[in-house]
A = this chain, B = another copy of it.
């Protein structure tokens, strides 16, 4: 973490915790830059996506001329890197205790991975991530339904035409999914399989103790 011998700029000292926090949160997908609006140069940079470093020119442009209702925050707007990566960027004017602008913070988020994922998803007709899609449910009863539903879809056999082997297979999956570790799960599974609790318990013990059976060759 060595800094230059001259000691860090007081502005860097003040704002770096925020910058490092954002850089940590967004991992390798975000670049955080602290600019000096006076000299129009980079003060410090975290997770650099290009080869810029402290002291390089900022190429910031005139933020002063932007909409004053934004109250020192600009964006998000889009940038395009030379290699084709798309960035979402925001900027904020940081002021000292006297209210004078002392630095400009820029956060550049690489949207490319997200957009690729979104493209794959929409190609398969998956819903765009807007409303919460309960793909994997926190609720264990939904998980039960999900496991059983998957099995029915795989075998094309509805619940009421299931054979003993089917029930064993489904219960095996449910057991692997640790469904029976939650309270009151067994009666729910029995109901979902249209079977009595006794049957479920019987099949489960048979499933969990295959040792005594194949012991005799």
Contact = CB atoms under 8 A, between A and B. Distances in A.
Interface stretch (A15-23, A36-44, A52-60, A163-171): A15-23
Interface string A58-92: 00000000000001110110000001100011111
B140 A113 contact: no
A119 B135 contact: yes
Contacts of A92: 17-18, 20-21
A152 B206 CA distance: 44
A121 interface: yes
A97 B94 contact: no
A195 interface: no
Interface in A13-53: 13-15, 17-18, 20-22, 24-26
26 contacts: A10-B97, A13-B99, A15-B18, A17-B71, A17-B92, A17-B93, A17-B94, A18-B92, A18-B94, A18-B105, A20-B71, A21-B92, A24-B73, A84-B137, A84-B138, A116-B133, A116-B136, A117-B118, A117-B121, A117-B129, A119-B136, A120-B135, A135-B136, A140-B181, A181-B183, A183-B183
